[in-house]
Amino acid sequence: MHSPNLLIAALLFFFVGPPTAQSLYSRAFGKVTDEPIIFLHGGPGSSSVYFEATTAQKLADEGFYVVVYDRRGEGRSKDSTARMTYEEFFEDLNLIYQKYRIPQAHLIGFSFGGLVATLYAEQQPSRVKSIILVSALVSQQESYNTILDSVARIYIDQNDVASLAALNKIREMDTHSLDYRTAVFAHASRNGFFNLSQPDPEARQIYSTYLSDTLIANYVKNDRAVETLWKNEARKNIDVIPTLTKLAVTIPVYAVYGKQDGLYSRHQITALQKLTGRTRMQYLDNCSHTVFIDQQAKFIGILRDWIK
């Protein structure tokens, strides 16, 4: 006799079915005949909404076919059964290629999306024209160390004994634990590591649209996404520099980072530049984590020069 649980699972699969491109939120900008770019958002739990609302059409106007999408269970792609694993992320990206009939594309990996883009390219190199790392995580532990070292200097300057003691406790934690990641990023956010204190007028104008733009106003973050990934995915605190080094032999790897982004040290940027080569690395001033807003015109111009 079949197990009742197996029967229920089979029925769910039959009626709900596997995920399809139609069940993922996605949108394309530009002409299908133009050079294809797929944007991989940050997270886990985030969305392509900010890139979509501010930059996608402007990039398409430069002669690109730009596709944005939200991964399963993130942003506008609601799915309470999403497991938030890399294999699931790859399945979603394959569905986007299929939906828009794109044989090959340039992948913009923004923040956490850089890890997804890199690991996808390792698995499906023939589908990737280039990897464009934008404020992208490449060595999670190095970024954690950068945050902890930077906030320690701030707390020493402020003679903040309590915060320094809290940092010491964090350094003793399991670096692969969710509690460790959460505590590190809490100090980064507290000290404004993702934002500019004095944005350029152009960036300030874009940020001012956040309150009125309906796409952004209606966006609700999935706050359980990181917890879900930690539960289901074995690859939690990873370094993809070795993978990028191998990929760079056959696939162009580009990188755009901001000098005021608190997630990355000069040492990390130098290491990335050695990997990409000087002409494929841009390190922008008065620019924090959201490069495509903080220095939007330069960002678009850089991509046009690199891959058009």
Please state the rounded mean pLDDT for residues 35-42.
98
Residue in the block written with tokens 């709900």 = 16
Please state the rounded mean pLDDT for residues 254-275.
96
Pick the residue with more confidence: 109 or 5? 109
In this prediction, residue 220 has a pLDDT band, given cuts at 50, 70 and 90, of confident
Residue 174's contacts (CB-CB under 8 Å, 6 or more residues apart) are: 180
CA distance 47 to 102: 21
Please state the rounded mean pLDDT for residues 186-200.
94
Proportion of the chain above pLDDT 90, given as a percent: 88
| Per-residue pLDDT, 18 | 53
Rg, the chain, Cα only: 20
Please state the rounded mean pLDDT for residues 259-281.
96
Where do the domains of the chain lie, and which CATH numbers do they carry? Answer: 18-139+197-307 (3.40.50.1820), 140-195 (no CATH)
Q: Model pTM?
A: 0.92
Residue 14 predicted with pLDDT over 70 = no
| Per-residue pLDDT, 225 | 94
Please state the rounded mean pLDDT for residues 227-246.
96
Residue in the block written with tokens 């999306």 = 113
